[in-house]
Amino acid sequence: MKQVNPARLQHIPVGIWVLGFVSMLMDISSEMIHALLPVYLTTVLGASAVTVGVIEGVAEAAAAITKVFSGALSDWLGRRKFLAALGYGLAALAKPIFPLAPSIGWLVAARFIDRIGKGIRGAPRDALVADIAPPELRGAAFGLRQSLDTVGAFLGPFIAIVAMWLTGGHFQLVFWIAVIPAFLSAGLIIVAVREPERPEGLRRVRMPLHRGELRRLGAVYWWVVAIAAIFTLARFSEAFLILRAQSIGLPLAAVPVVLMVMSLAYSLSAYPVGMLSDRMDKTKLLILGLLLLLAADIVLAFTTGVLALLVGVVLWGLHMGFTQGLLASLIAGAAPAELRGTAFGMFNLITGIVLLMASVLAGALWDMAGPQGTFLAGASFTLLTLIGLAAGRGRLRGH
């Protein structure tokens, strides 16, 4: 077990905190919309569950594809902040389209542009976190950013619930309210984030996506990506948690509470787990996170009441807290410093494509076999991930 002075865990650089608050504000905006969009699509515009799955999958896949190019570009430029700020700005500009959209096509376009913005900012921002954080605090830094980001994911649905109640279920007005934190987020990263100077002697990367550079990422990096890809098949879009709540008869105005509960569990666990990952075997924490997802899938497959639904949602949030920051920390630790943008971009490209397949499959299973078929399929893929992780456990030692 690594020995780290606990007092140092409190000394997370200011830049990590600022980036966390930037993410938090954007997540408030995005989750206000995301919490209501599946219900808005199915009840107001008459879309099917498959349509919801396709929209969510295509949107996230677009973000993932963009991340690989923005990450590589940040390595080529040797700078991260400009691309991160550009991504937050584009996402902010997309937000007013949601309340103005007259049809499903417009909502698809808005979701697409919003996720392109996420794709542009994602890999450079994560590489920037890795550049700012000391190596011995990397797990804590990623955990903190994830926690603050997820506080936004908690507050977003909460504000959406209050706004829906105050406006009598006026979707468009709630979408307009969501525009405000998005623009605050874009402004904050522009004025308050400082990028560290590039270390002297760090190798310049001319073609980050060249086959030779991708080989430099190393075997451990590609093993982490492979495990994460299988894992993503089990972790389809959270839109299906919302549809599950609707399927057991949760009132429309209360449906966003599902994402609130999930995000609260996620945010409360991500930072402590990040700190633990700096001092203990990361594989054990990943295994525990997968066991939490397995339990969540089983509970959500068979639940018939609100209490069991909330238990499943809490387990889902805890599994996110135990895995997402940890995977980011593993990627940052395995990749060479000059290729971190490319590393995060490739990681998100592969997992994003898998998420598209998982979301479409989840939607098809929902329409054919109902919620039970969807969540039991997720449990099966979780078991596959556990088997793969156990088989290659030694690869992650020291990372």
For the domain made up of 13-194+216-396, give the CATH fold: Growth Hormone; Chain: A; (1.20.1250)
Its pTM stands at 0.78
CA 164 to chain centre: 25
Structure tokens at 295: 């339990």
Contact 272, 280 (CB under 8 A): no
Contact 156, 28 (CB under 8 A): yes
- Report pLDDT digits (tens) over 161-215: 889 889 888 888 999 999 999 999 999 999 988 888 877 777 888 888 888 888 8
Burial of 114 (0-12, 13-18, 19+ CB in 10 A): buried
The domain spans of the chain are 13-194+216-396
- Report pLDDT digits (tens) over 299-324: 998 988 888 999 999 999 999 999 98
For residue 1, pLDDT over 60 is answered with no
Distance CA 328, CA 334 (A): 10
- Report pLDDT digits (tens) over 214-237: 888 888 899 889 888 888 887 777
Q: Please indicate whether residue 352 or residue 321 has the higher confidence score (pLDDT).
A: 321
pLDDT at 109: 84
Structure tokens at 304: 């018939």
Please tell me the number of Cα atoms within 13 Å of 182 on its side-chain side: 26
Average pLDDT on 387-396 reads: 67
Distance CA 208, CA 393 (A): 29
DSSP letters spanning 210-261: SHHHHHHT-HHHHHHHHHHHHHHHHS--THHHHHHHHHTT--GGGTTHHHHH
- Report pLDDT digits (tens) over 12-44: 888 889 999 999 999 999 888 887 887 777 777
Q: Please indicate whether residue 393 or residue 332 has the higher confidence score (pLDDT).
A: 332
Contact 170, 290 (CB under 8 A): no
Distance CA 333, CA 137 (A): 11
Least confident of 199-203, 286-290, 364-368, 373-377: 199-203
- Report pLDDT digits (tens) over 262-305: 888 998 999 999 888 888 778 888 889 999 999 999 999 898 88
To the nearest whole number, what is the mean pLDDT of the chain?
Answer: 84
